[in-house]
Structure 1
Amino acid sequence: MFTVFIILSCILAKPASGQQQFYETVNVNGVNRQYLVYLPTDFDPAENLPVMFHFHGGDESPEVAIQSEVDYRSLANVHRFIAVYPAALLDGKGCTCWNNEGKYSNGIDELGFAEAMIDSMVAGYNADPSRMYASGFSLGGSLTWDLACFLGDRFAAVGVVAANMWEWTYNDCTSALPIGICHILGTNDFYAPYNGNQYSISTAQQNAFWVSVNGASNTPIEDNLGGGVTRFLWPAKEDCHSVVHYRRQGGEHDWPTFARDAIWEFVSQYSLDGLIECLEDCPADLNGDGVVDGVDLGILLAGWKRAGGDIDGDGTTNGVDIGLMLAAWGACNSG
């Protein structure tokens, strides 16, 4: 368990009135970590906004990510969310590179950093803990696969550009929870070969894995979007989680212009329990099988005092949620 102390980089506990973009700092196991925060125009904590985290490419920074990868700021103003750009630490080779779980880990606690940022955004800005999203590019995308595998109880959906899962990530991803998956990759990407290599799995293997985890349809809907881009959507079924993959025929290792809007359109449909519209009819059915029963109660108890089993939308799992579950006990259409 990591110990987190929130230390704001400004003198005040809150940003100065009208300030929209600023750095904050959290201490994770004795290590200070920084992240850039962007609040939408006329921000009001009462809005209970979602948060979009973006993890920059290797040896880059939040500022470079905004300039050369994805600038969520105008989208945040329109669609009302908080944008957060975490900063990687300098590693032993002098690179601001993310650390991945697995056999090549250098010990930097990136998962603890991600959880610390979530806790900070909830505590400091009343962000909605059930609507935390992450995107990542290149090495930041590799880290985002770690978040999907190991923090599915904290992130509702992810968007990964120009990265496939490392072999060791895939091998360790045995207890992954359902999570919205959006993936964009060019067929000529040198960092993440489309058909895999000795370090990363193939796109086909990756798609099949997440379709299985999410309980999505085994048959994708294929759409040719033009410009060499084909979208493959595996629709959600009872578990209310889908998978979408964009294949960029001849695409290189870069961030395509359509990626920002495609990722936000996808992830914003999700809460921690799945596609929001899919869940509205029976929120106590946590595993999406159409019945509120002991399996759902087990999921609720596993998420106790966290957002994982939250039914009433207050951001934590407690006795109120148990009451709602018991009141809805049985088949979802029985009322």
Structure 2
Amino acid sequence: MPVAQLFFRSVVVALALGFSGAAHACGPDTDCELGNRHYRIALPDGHDGVTSVGAIVFAHGYRGSARGTMRNKNLRQMVSDMGLAFIAVKSARDDWDIPGAPSDLNSDGRVELGYFEKVVADVTRRHHVDPKRIMMSGFSAGGMVTWQLACDRPDLFAGFAPMAGTFWQGPPATCKGTTNVIHIHGTEDRTVPLAGRRIGSTKQGDVNKVLAFYRKEGGFGPIKTTAVSDDLTCARQTDAATDVLEFCTFKGGHSFKRSYLKYAWDRLAAAGKL
């Protein structure tokens, strides 16, 4: 084969491989594709791509995106400094497809539950994330899907940290089990008030009623109120299996500090859950 032709073929092969790699590239700035769904992931700085690593999965609020979540560089850096992967997930539509949501009152939530199962399977396979050291969290609507997962897929994550969001229409009849939950909420939240509010033909759940339901469901013990750092005041409980149920409030509205996410992880780690 002439040298020129051989060189041309080599270039074509190299370009094809390059484009193929780009199509499958996956990280903080590129979607990790799962069929017609995706997520994004940022591994901790200096990660060797081989060592097993814990992770925080974060669900965005209404009309959010994985891309938008990853743009929060301060949050990403904090999680990296903790030595963890940061995983940003994306709802099927503008809102998370969960029971009682205004976008689909007839939803049974199976679409999103299946998606999160695929995300966990994919990150453990492709990115060396330790399946026993993943905490699920989310803000607002993301907090609602976090609660749904805690109830319907309690074994999928080591712990759950919903923020400013809970079930639509109040607690379900029962859960498939109970696990570690640290709920964080501003006492002056008007978007998702602690008592909930009506939106169209549906209503946000009452956080205190949800916690009372979960407390009974899991047989959690007496409440121990403890003031902690970052303006959080937390009512702590454990059950016979030492699972953690904690309700943390702060004086503020529909917001959260990134340090609250770190608090939840550290609390669960201290309890031997991560």
Q: Same fold (TM over 0.5)?
A: yes
Change (3 A) 1:35 1:267: farther
Q: Rg bigger for which structure?
A: 2
Q: Could you list the runs of 5+ residues in structure 1 that have no partner in the other structure? A: 1-9, 91-95, 278-335
Deviation at 1:110, TM superposition (A): 0.9
Q: How many residues align?
A: 247
Tell me if the contact between 2:186 and 2:250 (Cα under 8 Å) persists in the aligned partners.
yes
Deviations 1:172-222 (Å, cap 9, x if unpaired)?
Answer: 4x1332221111112222232213456233232222233334443222233
Moved more, 42-51 or 114-123: 42-51
Change (3 A) 1:137 1:127: same
Distance 1:131 1:225 in 2: 24
Tell me the amino acid that sits aligned with residue 190 of structure 1. Answer: R
Partner of 2:3: none
Partner of 1:97: 95
Identical positions, percent: 21
Tell me if the contact between 1:232 and 1:245 (Cα under 8 Å) persists in the aligned partners.
yes
The higher-RCO structure (CA 8 Å, 6+ apart) is 2
Partner of 1:86: 89
Distance 2:157 2:41 in 1: 18
Partner of 2:263: 262
Distance 2:33 2:186 in 1: 35
Q: Secondary structure at the match of 1:130?
A: strand
Deviations 1:17-53 (Å, cap 9, x if unpaired)?
Answer: xx765320102xxxx1011111112223542212211
Partner of 1:150: 152
Q: Secondary structure at the match of 1:149?
A: helix
Confirm or deny that 1:61 pairs with 2:69: no
How is 1:146-295 mapped onto 2 (pairs within 5 angstroms)?
A: 146-167=148-169, 170-172=171-173, 174-197=174-197, 199-223=203-227, 225=229, 227=231, 229-234=232-237, 236-249=238-251, 251-269=252-270, 275-276=272-273
Q: So what's the TM-score if we normalise by structure 1?
A: 0.65
Deviation at 1:136, TM superposition (A): 0.7
Choose which of 11, 15, 32 in structure 2 pairs with 1:24: 32
Normalized per residue, the structure richer in helix is: 2
Tell me if the contact between 1:52 and 1:135 (Cα under 8 Å) persists in the aligned partners.
yes
Distance 1:129 1:24 in 2: 18
Partner of 1:122: 124
Q: Secondary structure at the match of 1:171?
A: coil
Q: Secondary structure at the match of 2:185?
A: strand
Tell me the amino acid that sits aligned with residue 261 of structure 1. Answer: K
Distance 2:147 2:80 in 1: 27
Partner of 2:13: none
Change (3 A) 1:46 1:212: farther
Change (3 A) 1:276 1:224: closer
Q: Could you list the runs of 5+ residues in structure 2 that have no partner in the other structure? A: 1-18
Deviation at 1:87, TM superposition (A): 1.7
Deviations 1:210-240 (Å, cap 9, x if unpaired)?
Answer: 333444322223326575x422212x24312
Tell me if the contact between 1:35 and 1:86 (Cα under 8 Å) persists in the aligned partners.
yes
Partner of 1:300: none
Q: So what's the TM-score if we normalise by structure 2?
A: 0.78
Distance 2:79 2:228 in 1: 28
Deviation at 1:161, TM superposition (A): 1.2
Distance 2:185 2:218 in 1: 20
CA-based RMSD: 2.9
Distance 2:106 2:136 in 1: 21
Tell me the amino acid that sits aligned with residue 126 of structure 1. Answer: H
Tell me if the contact between 1:137 and 1:163 (Cα under 8 Å) persists in the aligned partners.
yes
